[in-house]
Structure 1
Amino acid sequence: MSDTAILVNTAVAILAIVLLIVRFKLNPLIALVLGSCYLGLAAGLGVEGTIETAATGFGDVLAEIGLLIAFGVLMGSLLSDMGAIRRLVDGLLRTLGAQRLPHAMALTIATFLQSIFLDVLLVISAPLARAVAPRLGRYGTARMATALAIGLECGIVFTVPGVAALALAGLLGVSLGTYLVYGLIVVIPTVAISISIMSAVLTRGWWKPELDEQEPAGVTATAEAEPVTTSTTSAAGGSGHAGTGTAGSAADTADSADTDGAAGRPAEAADRPQPPLLLLFTPLIAALVLVASGAVTETLEWSNPVVAFLSTPMVALLIGLVGTCLIGRRFMGQPKVEEALESGLRQSGQILLLSGVGGSLAATIDAIGLGDILGQYLSAGSWAPLLVVWAIAAVLHIAVGSVTISAITAAGLLAPVASSLGLEPVLIALAAGAGSLFMVHLTSNTFWLLQSLMGQTTRGTLKTCSVGVSLASVVAMGPILALSLFL
């Protein structure tokens, strides 16, 4: 088949995936599988070759990141049920004061809390942020809402074990230790700079509380008082976590936790002794340190069998999960630990499937030879390929409305091209992640959750969420392009 025919069929497949999700409200999982099958058949792989390629790609990706996603989500579910987020925000407020809280909260969410499911993390952290907002003055709501949006969305694509970060690393063959190190190099300045710029803009006349915030009567409204709807299916909805649904599902998650309003932790556990906050996060921090140590030893070309075993991402995250379970068992009791684990397993299911079908699409694209074709048009050793990667992911996100789906689809499209570009795969993964953040808008579940939980109008949410996260998408390319000069 000619190069032109392959390019045309690939474009048709991607367009069909977008239309099936957006126009016909088809589940993204089914849409990606149909797109992969069409592309394989149209490009001449045949029925048997298409099915075999898709199945192999699916299995390869799940073998690479399936357990990692599950372990990360399970750890996050346990931390959420133990009240770790509330206590961490309280500690940041006491230590740093209200004025520094937007930066501190966003950086903490973007770096240390990415094992916690996005909808759950948002539902728990937004009321805390809203309660603090009046202490920041007239523009407190704007600053805290912007910080939450940027911290949440940047974290899931740049920080291990964020689900989009795991998917990008797996699809592009990047070791998690490498992605963790370089992702932190990108996410920290991106979050800090973006929030500073947005704060300066919002507090100089762009934010108008009378128009951008709900009426005083609605200030105490919650997601229950104002039902949240999206213009896409629940499967495509979450801008952070595709397939995890609607604001209603997130509110249900918060309700199911049976929290007491004063303590923000399970009512049944109100009388239990509270563990030190550092102890709660020690297993997660230890797991991330072990993963990062693997990248460091690889860079230094130093080998030790014990370190090599412990720094393997699957082993490191398993150690973190076991440690978190033991702490939860001690301070919540075994029944509550089992409930948290069951909740985490339900949350991780469709993320695993979406990551797998992203691998199917990548394998099909590789099999038809698209990588060699695109490699002829993208010159290595320059910034242009990374900008093209960013643009592809950005267009997909604008069309689909989900950060995770657009990141996975972009990575699947670009994975076969990585070797021909002469660029480190980690740079391509990070650029795809940055592009997938561009223009979080009305089809995003995160958009509507932030509107309702932070007491914003749609106009206000377009400023804090859509503009704020889009700015972060652009700012992130600065450190990524800078890294390309050294890698």
Structure 2
Amino acid sequence: MNTAVAVIATVVLIVRFKLNPVIALVLGAVYLGLTAGLGVEGTVDAVTGGFGDILADVGLLIAFGVLTGAMLHRAGAIERLVATLLHACGPRGMPYATAVTVGTALQSIFVDVLLVISAPLARRIAPRIGDRGLPRMATALAIGLECGIVFMVPGVGAVALAGVLGVPMGQMLIAGLVVVVPTVLIATAIMTFLFRRGWWDPAKDEQEPTWAGMDAGPAGQDDDRSSGAGTAAADGEAPAGNAAGDGTDGAARVPEPAGAATVVADASGAGPRRELPLSLLFAPLLVGLLLIAAGAVLDAAGVVHPVLVFLGEPVIALLIGLVGTTAVVGLSLGREVVEGAVGDGFRESGQILILTGVGGSLATTIANAGLGEILGRYFSANTAAPLLMVWVIAAVLHVAIGSVTISAITAAGVLAPVAPVIGLAPVLIALAAGAGALFAVHVTSNTFWLLQSLLGQSVRGTLKTCSVGVSVASVVAILLILPLSLVF
């Protein structure tokens, strides 16, 4: 009962009284600890200990991932990647390629920056992919963005969920990849079918894009970074592909595919500088992710080798990715761009780290309150029921709060104590919580308003592409996750 009151009170504080999510989560954890009999000292230990424990597990991972993404953003890698995908996949395959790429390879990019850059590019590509190009690209972008956040390491939601539940990062990476790729493909295909059957009226569902339109959404409700800070474009930065001042103009053009190295102007204005191939820009990050996955596979196979174990540690693997990306971007654009990217990354990662930490505080307090034993009485060893319950709790929280990250972490924290009682693998709880947190992205979400403004959709159109599209992905994901209980 006290847990339910704490969760409901946290939701009310955020939604009704517009209290910052960080403060609301801490207050909920303090209330639960005091009312559950932990005492003053036990409550403080749970709140501070939970905060420190999760950051000890995932703090550097989040920081390294965000910094790597900032480097790639400054290098203009996203625009070049979109052009390459269009060239390789053709117009018909572009929505599917966009959803998969955004949901996997680009998850190190800070979500608002990724959206502000990729949305204008998607809008310019839309007329080239045939009938109903705009809703298909908008849906693919929304599904890829949201699914990647909660399923794909180093997406901030996936990393936070793994930290709260104690899931090995390599296991989360592999399991998330297994879920996210079919989820985005199936959900995009379903939405494409609906749009081609007439579920889109350009006269009512489309409008001229307006940069000012992104301010129409409620301030402080950030779907993916979950903070009160404004969006990149709303904060006065260039609206399309120039959020960090890298000189790109995503709204004005779709760049040509860049396979071979070319000569471009130095960002500092000192003269021409050699632009490296796109594959080389992404290579360090991909190497880091492959090292994490390889470490998980070797661990499962019982292979123990000091060098392999060291390189497969997520912190070391992402550090290698960050150092490699820094070197590549430095060679391509110069030291000034690297320094600017580091500044961007530090600003972006701070709010994510604080939110992740307080999510760990609430989860630890719930665990210390003995909720696992109580819930264990209501669940059998059949894993379907608790996984569906995690999905429902996360979905309800997301509808109320409008934050994917907060709802996923809170739902995972509520049912995490059940795992050892009934033998449920924590990675399944993480995946189910992530899937539920995707349900019903709507007007309380900052991502909703960015997609509406940047892609030239009406509110009605955005409800179709974003709210319905991501909800379809949420349902598809849980249907894919349930059979995984036979494996984990």
Say whether the fold is shared (TM-score over 0.5). yes
Answering whether residue 250 of structure 2 is matched by residue 259 of structure 1, we say no
2:260 maps to none
Q: Tell me the residue number matched to 1:361.
A: 362
Please list the CA deviations of residues 21-47 of structure 1 after superposition, one character each: whole Å capped at 9, or x if unmatched. Answer: 000000000000000001111111111
Aligned-pair CA distance for 1:136 = 2.1
Task: Quote the Cα distance in structure 1 between the aligned partners of 2:73 and 2:191.
Answer: 29
Name the residue aligned to 1:229: 216
Give the whole-Å Cα distance in 1 for the aligned partners of 2:216 and 2:253: 29
TM-score, with structure 2 as normaliser: 0.94
Note if contact 1:185-1:479 (Cα within 8 Å) is conserved in structure 2.
Answer: no
Q: Which residue of 1 aligns with 2:438?
A: 437
Change (3 A) 1:192 1:252: same
Work out the CA distance in 2 between the residues paired with 1:443 and 1:323: 38
Deviation of the 1:415 alpha carbon: 2.0
Give 1:284's aligned amino acid. L
* Contact 2:61 2:314 (8 Å CA) reproduced: yes
Tell me how far apart the structure 1 counterparts of residues 230 and 468 of structure 2 sit (CA, whole Å): 22
Report if aligned partners of 1:244, 1:350 keep a CA contact under 8 Å in 2. no
Which residue is equivalent to 2:452? 451
- Provide Cα deviations, 1:289-326, integer angstroms capped at 9, x if missing partner: 00001110011111111000000000000000000111
Other-structure match for 1:209 = 202
For 1:5, the equivalent position in structure 2 comes to none
Residues 55 and 110 of structure 1: is their aligned pair in 2 closer, same or farther, counting only changes over 3 Å?
Answer: same
Amino acid at match of 1:277: L
Shift of 1:250: 6.7
Separation (CA, whole Å) in 1 of partners of 2:482 and 2:385: 10
C-alpha displacement of 1:400: 0.4
Instruction: Spell out the pairing of 1:48-59 with structure 2 (5 A cutoff).
Output: 48-59=41-52
Cα distance between partner residues in 2 of 1:278 and 1:244: 36
Distance 1:170 1:323 in 2: 25
Preserved CA contact (<8 Å) 2:223 2:405: yes
Q: Aligned partners of 2:92 and 2:392: how far apart in 1?
A: 35
Deviations 1:198-220 (CA, angstroms, capped at 9, x unpaired): 00001111111111000xxx2xx
**Alignment-mate amino acid for residue 11 of structure 1:** A
Contact 1:119 1:250 survives alignment (8 Å) = no
Provide the rounded CA distance (Å) in 2 between the counterparts of 1:382 and 1:418: 9
Give distance in 1, aligned partners of 2:101 and 2:273. 26
- Distance of aligned partners of 1:111 and 1:251 in 2 relative to their CA distance in 1, 3 Å threshold: farther
Which of 50, 67, 71 is matched with 2:60 structurally? 67
* Distance in 2, Cα, partners of 1:109 & 1:303: 34
Structure 2 letter corresponding to 1:240? D
In the alignment, which of 164, 170, 183 is matched to residue 163 of structure 2?
A: 170
- 1:240 alignment counterpart: 224
Change (3 A) 1:295 1:362: same
1:40 maps to a residue whose letter is G
Q: How many Å separate the matches in 2 of 1:251 and 1:122? A: 16
Q: Which residue in the other structure is 1:3 paired with?
A: none
Is residue 27 of structure 1 aligned with residue 15 of structure 2? no
Q: Distance in 2 between matches of 1:203 and 1:394?
A: 28
Runs of at least 5 residues in structure 2 that lack an aligned partner in the other structure: 256-263
Distance between the aligned counterparts of 2:254 and 2:65, measured in 1? 22
CA distance in 2, matches of 1:250, 1:383: 44
Amino acid at match of 2:323: V
Residues 143, 188 of structure 2: 8 Å contact kept = yes
Report the Cα offset of residue 356 of structure 1: 0.6
Alpha-carbon displacement from aligned partner over 1:5-64 (angstroms, at most 9, x marks no partner): xxx111111011000000000000000000000111111111121111111111000000
RMSD of aligned C-alpha atoms? 1.7
SS at match of 2:107: coil
Report the Cα offset of residue 486 of structure 1: 2.1
> Does the 8 Å contact 1:120/1:250 carry over to 2?
no
Equivalent-residue separation in structure 1 for 2:49 and 2:42 (angstroms): 10
What's the counterpart of residue 147 of structure 2?
A: 154
Report the Cα distance in structure 1 between the residues aligned to 2:146 and 2:382, rounded to whole angstroms: 29
**Residue correspondence of structure 1 range 74-89 to structure 2 within 5 A:** 74-89=67-82
1:328 to 2:321 alignment: no
Q: Taking structure 1 as the reference length, what is the TM-score of the superposition?
A: 0.94
Q: Structure 1 CA distance, aligned partners of 2:236 and 2:145?
A: 17
- Pick from 117, 126, 130 the counterpart of residue 119 of structure 2: 126
2:206–2:458: 8 Å Cα contact kept in structure 1?
A: yes
CA deviations 1:457-484 (Å, max 9, x no partner) are 0000000000000000000012211111
Distance 1:63 1:328, change over 3 A: same
Task: Indicate yes or no: 2:131 matched with 1:144.
Answer: no
Deviation (angstroms), 1:272? 2.8
Deviation at 1:485, TM superposition (A): 1.6
Q: Tell me by how many angstroms 1:423 deviates.
A: 1.3
- Write the distance in 1 (CA, Å) between the matches of 2:141 and 2:482: 25
Counterpart residue type for residue 405 of structure 1: I
Cα separation, 2, equivalents of 1:158 and 1:16: 28
For the residues of structure 2 that align with 1:451 and 1:311, how far apart are their CA atoms?
41
Change (3 A) 1:260 1:154: closer
In 2, Cα distance between the equivalents of 1:389 and 1:61? Answer: 20
Note the alpha carbon deviations across 1:107-146, whole angstroms, 9 max, x for none.
Answer: 0111111000110001111111000101123411000000
1:188 pairs, out of 181, 204, 211, with: 181
CA distance in 1 between partners of 2:65 and 2:479 (Å): 29
Q: Is this contact kept in 2: 1:123–1:251, CA < 8 A?
A: no
Identity of aligned residues (%): 60
**Structure with the higher fraction of residues in helix conformation:** 1
